[in-house]
Amino acid sequence: MKLYLIIASLLLASFSYAQEASTNSKPKIWSLDDCIEYALENNVTVKDASLNTSISEVDYSKAKSSRLPNLFGSVSQNFSSGNTIDPITSDYVTDQINSTNVGINSSMTLFQGNQINNQIKQNKLLLEQSVFQEEVEKNNIVLNLLETYLQTLYSKESISIAENNLIASEKEVLRAKSRLDAGSIALNDYTEAQSQAATNKYNVISAKSNYQQYIIALKQLLELPPTEDLEIETINENMDLVNLELDKTTIYNNALNYLPEMSVSKLSIESNEKELDIAKGAYLPTLSLVGSLGSGYTSISDSSFSDQFNFNFNQKIGLSLSIPIFNRNQTKAAVKTASINIEKAQIQKQSTEKEIYKKVETAYQNALSSQEQVIASKASKEAAAQSYKLAQKKYELGDLSTTDLVISQNTYTNAQQNYLQAKYLNILYHQLLQFYQGNDIKL
């Protein structure tokens, strides 16, 4: 009996501990830094870019190996009958012949219009370009995370605004009901209060739905499973406004020196220039060193198999020169194509510079605008809050209609939303300007 009691006590203690641990465990709160670090390791777009870099590394290694000699082995067994030439002795005979040939062949390119060296240099440039392109993809993920993270925070605060409005409107419905029962207001005033409460309830549902949509977008960027909970960290409410100490020209120049898109464009030009050198190299002759080792056996000889292999052993070494004379204008076309691709790469570089300038200019102007909007919307929100409080007091005293109260509440709600939007836009554009200059994103 005592043993049963001990076992029951242990089971109860274990259950209580597990329940307590489950109650105390809280989901992880993700900061923006956490999201960025996790996404850079797990996002499929970043992984794909990393694999492209690995392929470029393989291509670069393969290009360097083209300087080495090749080596091939060959073995053949032949049977012939009648008038034929012995493949081993080269005698003209009329007989049945069984012959065996074994050989090793090798060749190494000594000169090929400098194409091998230029190919190696081009593959090195392409490898560097892949590394910078991987950085471009990482930056895109970081910027997408920043925008989605701030949108998620904005939608989360919008839920609080909508819920507070719903609570206030539900209280106003109760007051309106009391005043209707007392005969101090008409039925349409009461129904208008009910309508406003229903509208605010819809706004709460809509705000929560928007928040969940942004959570889904964050999970996709992080490559998290749909079933995993995701809670993000709020930011400092007293964050300073944007302080634009630098002019946009300085920010633009810093962006040109920092952003990997410019390095990708420059390396693309250099890579196409090497492609032109490779194409021109086809006009020049190719000099190769060739060599072989071989031996064989023939059945018409009276010597044994091993003796014939010793007797017939041969070695060859020589030089081979291939001179291009006419290849149906293939080299000429390749040179023209390479020249055109250089011009295209130069145009792409100009387009990249314009795109970076557009991003910097847009972020700079929006930062200035949002900074002023934060100041104006904050003042508007505070004034609307005071006006709404006064309207509520008047409504309680019966000095204000339900319609005017609803108008005052909606004005206050709009002022709150405007301030919220201006605040997060101000943060977003400030962080973009910091990012374009190579500074860390800090929330």
CATH at residue 303: 2.20.200
CB atoms within 10 A of CB 58: 11
Q: Provide the domain count of the chain.
A: 2
pTM for this structure? 0.86
Sign of the Cα pseudo-torsion (412, 414, 416, 422, in order): negative
Cβ partners under 8 Å of residue 398, min gap 6: 179, 184, 185
Same structural domain, 232 and 93: no
Residue, of 23 and 65, whose pLDDT is higher? 65
Beta partners for residue 98, in sequence order? 79
Q: What's the DSSP call for residue 16?
A: H
Same structural domain, 123 and 150: yes
Same structural domain, 78 and 223: no
CA dihedral 385, 391, 397, 400 (to 10 degrees): -170
**CA distances for 333 relative to 278, 279, 324, 329, 330, angstroms:** 13, 9, 15, 6, 5
pLDDT at res. 169: 93
DSSP, collapsed to helix, strand or coil, labels residue 26 as coil
Same structural domain, 242 and 319: no
CATH at 252: 1.20.1600.10
Cα 124 versus chain centre, distance: 23
Same structural domain, 105 and 245: no
Q: Does residue 15 lie within any of the structural domains? A: no
Same structural domain, 319 and 331: no
Task: Decide if pLDDT at 289 tops 90.
Answer: yes
Same structural domain, 76 and 59: no
Confidence bin at 97 (pLDDT 50/70/90)? confident
Q: Does residue 265 lie within any of the structural domains? A: yes
- Give the end of a domain, one of 266, 295, 323: 323
Residue 112 near residue 281, CB atoms below 8 Å: yes
Share of the chain above pLDDT 90, in %: 74
Token representation of residue 72? 């091939």
Q: Does residue 7 lie within any of the structural domains? A: no
Task: Decide if pLDDT at 89 tops 80.
Answer: no
Largest CA distance in the chain: 134
Residue, of 6 and 55, whose pLDDT is higher? 55
The residue among 311, 313, 300 whose CA lies nearest residue 84 is 300
**How buried is 319 (Cβ within 10 angstroms: 0-12 exposed, 13-18 middle, 19+ buried)?**
exposed
Cβ partners under 8 Å of residue 234, min gap 6: 153, 156
Residue 257 near residue 70, CB atoms below 8 Å: no
Same structural domain, 293 and 385: no
**Which region, left, alpha or beta, applies to residue 313 given φ > 0 means left and ψ of -120 to 50 means alpha?**
beta
Q: Does residue 4 lie within any of the structural domains? A: no
Task: Decide if pLDDT at 38 tops 70.
Answer: yes
Q: Does residue 329 lie within any of the structural domains? A: yes
Cα–Cα distance, 317 to 280 (Å, whole number): 30
pLDDT at res. 95: 77
Which tens digits make up the pLDDT trace of 217-248?
999 999 999 889 999 998 865 555 555 667 88
Sign of the Cα pseudo-torsion (31, 37, 42, 46, in order): positive
Residue 280, phi then psi, degrees to nearest 5: -65, -30
Confidence bin at 20 (pLDDT 50/70/90)? very low
Cβ partners under 8 Å of residue 286, min gap 6: 109, 111, 112, 113, 321, 322
Q: What is the mean pLDDT of residues 137-143?
A: 97
Q: Does residue 22 lie within any of the structural domains? A: no
Q: Does residue 367 lie within any of the structural domains? A: yes
- Give the end of a domain, one of 273, 305, 323: 323
pLDDT at res. 21: 42
CA dihedral 352, 356, 357, 359 (to 10 degrees): 140
Cβ partners under 8 Å of residue 103, min gap 6: 73, 74, 292, 293, 294, 295
Cα–Cα distance, 195 to 410 (Å, whole number): 13
pLDDT at res. 183: 84
Same structural domain, 400 and 317: no
- Give the end of a domain, one of 275, 307, 323: 323
Q: What is the residue range of 348's domain?
A: 28-66+113-284+324-436
Which amino acid would we find at residue 425?
Answer: L
Same structural domain, 248 and 355: yes
Cβ partners under 8 Å of residue 149, min gap 6: 32, 35, 218, 232, 443
Which amino acid would we find at residue 183?
Answer: G
Task: Decide if pLDDT at 23 tops 50.
Answer: no
Same structural domain, 302 and 428: no
Between CA 279 and CA 290, with CA 285 as vertex, the angle to 5 degrees is 120
Same structural domain, 343 and 374: yes
Quickly tell me which residue has 């989360």 as its tokens. 156
Q: What's the DSSP call for residue 229?
A: -
Token representation of residue 181? 């029962």
Task: Decide if pLDDT at 269 tops 70.
Answer: yes
pLDDT at res. 237: 59
pLDDT at res. 299: 83
The highest-confidence range among 169-173, 175-179, 282-286, 435-439, by mean pLDDT, is 282-286
Cα–Cα distance, 19 to 35 (Å, whole number): 30
**Which region, left, alpha or beta, applies to residue 113 given φ > 0 means left and ψ of -120 to 50 means alpha?**
left
Q: Does residue 169 lie within any of the structural domains? A: yes
Confidence bin at 441 (pLDDT 50/70/90)? confident
CB atoms within 10 A of CB 201: 16
Q: 8-17, 384-393, 426-435 — which is least confidently predicted?
A: 8-17
Token representation of residue 281? 């190299």
